[in-house]
Amino acid sequence: MFYKSTRNSNVNVSSAQAIAQGISEDGGLFVPSEIPALTLDEIRQMGDLSYADRALFVFSKYLTDFSGAEIRYCVDGAYNTKNFDSENIAELAHLFDGTYMLELWHGPTCAFKDMALQILPYLLTTSIKKIGTDKKVVILVATSGDTGKAALEGFKDVEGTSIIVFYPEDGVSAMQKKQMTTQEGSNVGVCAIKGNFDDAQNGVKAIFTDAATGKELADNGMMFSSANSINWGRLAPQIIYYVSTYAQLVKEQQIDVGEPINIVVPTGNFGNILAGYYAKKMGVPVNKLICASNANNVLTDFINTGIYDRNRQFHTTISPSMDILISSNLERLLYLLNGQNDAQIREWFGALAKDGRYEVSDEVKKALREEFCAGFCDDEQTKATIKEIYDKYSYTCDTHTAVAVKVYEDYKKATGDDTVTVIASTASPYKFSGSVLSAIGADAGEDEFDKVDKLAEISKLPVPESLAGLKNKAVRFDKTIDKADMKKFIFESLGI
Ligand SMILES: *Cc1c(COP(=O)(O)O)cnc(C)c1O
C-alpha cells in the first residue's frame, strides 16, 4: 500500500509521509493506492472487540508502514475513557424503528472531530519519527468551528508541534468561540479572520502550497502539516466508526450480517461522508450514502446534476460547521469514481479555482447517483425537526444532526426505502444551546451558560464537563485580522 496524489498519480509515498506532509506538493490530496477489503466474517468478529481494537484492525490495513506496536500506541493513547465519556467511544442510540443515531460527540470537545483529532497527534508524531525528520511540525487549521477546538485539544503541548487555528469572525457559535479563545497550552495560536470558512480554508491551502513560504519555514527548522480533513490521517480514523457501527449492529442482533444499511451524514467539507464511502468500498454493506446539507446546498445540486457551482450566495446558518461552499474531499471521491484520472482532476479543480464551476462526465454522474442521495433544509426546517424529535422521542439533537434527520425523513417519504439507517450525530446539543432552545421553544436570556443550564433541565442530558468549565476561563486570543495577513500572523506566532 502506498499513497498517490489526486493531481499526480505518479506520486508514491508511504502513509507516514502522507500524514506528515498533509497535502501533496502539487496541491492534490493523498489517497491510498487501493482500498483494502474486509470480509463479512472479519466485520462480524470485530463486534467482540473494544473500539481501540477495532481501530487497530482497520488501521493495520491502511498504515502498512507502521508496526503493530506503533498502531497500538496510537489507538490506546486516543480511544480511552480519559478522553471520551463513554466506554464505547461512539454511542449508538435507537431513535425509532430501524433508525439509529451514531453519537460521535463523546470526546473532549463534544463534536465528531474528536474521533479523528484525538488520534491524529499520535499518528503524526509517529509519522514524523518514521520519516526521520527533526523539523518541528506546524499544524495549520482552518475551521468552521469544531475542527479548530478539537485540533487544539489534540495538539496542545504535544512535543515537537505548534498549532495555529483560523476561524471566520462571525461564522462560529458562541460556545465554539469561547472554546477556542480560551484554549490553554504553550504551543497554540488562535485568530479570527474577516471572511467566511472558505476564505480561511483557501488562505491556509495557499500558504501550505507556496514553495517560498515552505522554504522560509524549513530554514527555521520547521515544516507545515494539516489537521483538516485534507490530511489522510484525519480521514482514516473516520472510516473506523462506520465499520465499528456495522459490527455493533450485528452484535446487538439489530441486523443480520450482510444486510445493507443506509448512512446519513450532515455534510460540509465531505470528509465524514467520504469515510462512509471508504467503509462501503472496504466491504461494509451500505445501500445509500445520504448527503445532508443546510442552505449552503452546493453538494445537493452537485449530486443531483453533476454540476458543481460555488457561484452562489453564502448563507450563515444555525449549523455553522456546514457553512461551506468548497468541499475539499470531493476531490478524493471524484478521483476514485473517475478511474484515478489525475489529468481530469487537474482540469476540474483548475476550473473550480478559476471560474468556481465544473461539470463531471456522464459516467461520473451515474456513479454519483448510484452511491449517493442528497437533500438539504433551511434553518426553519432544522428547528422544526429539533422540536419534532424532542416532542416525539424525548431526544435532543444539535442543529447539524437535525439537518440530517430532516433530509432522511424527506428521503424516506420520497422513496419508501425502509432499510435500517444510521444517522451520524455530529455534535452535542450543548455546543449550540441557543439555537436548540429556541427550536424547542424555551428561553434562557442572553448568557451562554444560563442557556446551558436551561438545556440541561429540559434535555436531561448531563452537561459535558469541558463545556461547563469554560464559564470561568479567561480569553487568551482575541485578535481578528484580514485574510491577507494570515501568513504574517503565523510567522509572528512562530517567532520568525
Ligand atoms: C465538521 C462538521 C460537520 C461536517 O463534516 P464534514 O466532514 O466537513 O463534511 C457536520 N457537523 C458538525 C457538528 C461538524 O463539526
Q: Set out the domains of the chain in order of their start, with CATH numbers.
A: 87-111+233-433 (3.40.50.1100)
Looking from the CA of residue 229, the nearest atom of ligand 1 is 7
Distance 32 CA to ligand 1 centre (A): 23
383 is catalytic: no
What grid cell was written down for 163?
Answer: 498549532
For every residue of 427-449, which 3-state class applies, written as one string? ECHHHHHHHHHHHHCCCCCCCHH
Distance 67 CA to ligand 1 centre (A): 31
CA nearest ligand 1 atom 8, residue: 269
Say if pTM beats, i.e. exceeds, 0.85.
Answer: yes
For every residue of 188-256, which 3-state class applies, written as one string? EEEEEEECCHHHHHHHHHHHHHCHHHHHHHHHCCEEEEECCCCCHHHHHHHHHHHHHHHHHHHHCCCCC
**pLDDT for residue 411:** 98
State the chain's maximal CA–CA distance in angstroms.
61
**pLDDT for residue 62:** 98
**pLDDT for residue 339:** 95
Distance 58 CA to ligand 1 centre (A): 22
**Active-site residue identified among 113, 149, 451, 454:** 113
The secondary structure of residue 483, as a DSSP letter, is G
CA nearest ligand 1 atom 2, residue: 321
User: What are 43-67's pLDDT values in tens digits?
Assistant: 999 999 999 999 999 999 999 999 9
Residue 146 Cβ inside 6 Å of ligand 1? The answer reads yes
Distance 173 CA to ligand 1 centre (A): 14
User: What are 352-361's pLDDT values in tens digits?
Assistant: 999 999 999 9
Looking from the CA of residue 271, the nearest atom of ligand 1 is 7
**pLDDT for residue 176:** 93
CA distance 266 to 310: 19
Residue 238 Cβ inside 6 Å of ligand 1? The answer reads no
| Whether pLDDT at 209 is above 90 | no
Per-residue pLDDT band at 201 (split at 50, 70, 90)? confident
CB proximity list for 368: less than 8 A, separation 6 or greater: 302, 303, 306, 337, 360
Radius of gyration, alpha carbons of the chain: 21
What grid cell was written down for 304?
Answer: 443531483
Residue 7 Cβ inside 6 Å of ligand 1? The answer reads no
Whole-angstrom CA distances from 320 to 105, 172, 174, 176, 435 are 16, 6, 11, 10, 11
User: What are 322-333's pLDDT values in tens digits?
Assistant: 999 999 999 999
Residue 396 Cβ inside 6 Å of ligand 1? The answer reads no
Per-residue pLDDT band at 451 (split at 50, 70, 90)? very high
Per-residue pLDDT band at 365 (split at 50, 70, 90)? very high
Q: Are strands 357-359 and 307-309 parallel, antiparallel or unpaired?
A: antiparallel
Residue 148 Cβ inside 6 Å of ligand 1? The answer reads no
Q: Which residue among 29, 106, 146 is best mutated to probe the pocket of ligand 1, counting the most ligand atoms within 8 A of its Cβ?
A: 146
Distance 212 CA to ligand 1 centre (A): 32
Per-residue pLDDT band at 444 (split at 50, 70, 90)? confident
Residue 365 Cβ inside 6 Å of ligand 1? The answer reads no
What grid cell was written down for 147?
Answer: 475542527
Distance 231 CA to ligand 1 centre (A): 15
Residue 400 Cβ inside 6 Å of ligand 1? The answer reads yes
